Amino acid sequence: MPGTCTVVIPTYNEEMNIVNMARCLRELYPNFNIMFMDDNSTDRSKELIEELNDPGTRLVTRKPEERGLAASVFQGIVECGTDYFMTIDCDFQHPPGALGSMYEKMEEGCDLCVGVREDRFALGFKRWAGSWAGNVLCDLYLLSKGKRVSEDIMSGLIAGRTDVFVPVINSSFSELEMQGWKVLLDLLKFGPSDLKMAKVKYKFGKRAEGESHISHNVILSTFNQCGRVGKFCGKFYSKIRDQTTRKTVDASENQI
Confidence bin at 225 (pLDDT 50/70/90): low
The overall average pLDDT reported for the chain is 83
Return the percentage of the chain with pLDDT > 90, whole number.
60
Dihedral angle sign, alpha carbons of residues 103, 211, 23, 33: positive
What pLDDT, on the 0 to 100 scale, is given for residue 219? Answer: 56
Least confident of 18-32, 105-119, 168-182: 168-182
pLDDT tens profile 21-50: 999 999 999 999 999 999 999 999 999 999
Whether 119 has a pLDDT exceeding 80, the answer reads no
Cβ proximity of 191 and 147 under 8 Å:
yes
CA angle (190 as vertex; 185, 192 as ends), nearest 5 = 110
Q: Which CATH architecture has domain 5-213?
A: Alpha-Beta Complex (3.90)
Q: Are 105 and 113 in contact (CB under 8 A)?
A: yes
Instruction: With a cut of 60, say whether residue 144 has pLDDT above it.
Output: yes
pLDDT number for residue 105: 98
Confidence (pLDDT) at 247: 47
Question: What does the pLDDT read at residue 122?
Answer: 53
pTM: 0.81
Q: Residue 218 above 60 pLDDT?
A: no
Are the C-beta atoms of residues 117 and 38 closer than 8 Å to each other? no
Per-domain boundaries in the chain:
5-213
What's the pLDDT tens digit per position in 186-201? 999 999 999 999 999 9
- pLDDT value at residue 83: 98
Cα gap 219→7, rounded to integer Å: 24
pLDDT in the model for residue 226 = 57
Banded model confidence at residue 137, pLDDT cuts 50, 70, 90: confident
Closest to 176 in 3D by CA, of 185, 153, 155, 250: 185
Question: 249 vs 255, which has greater pLDDT?
Answer: 255
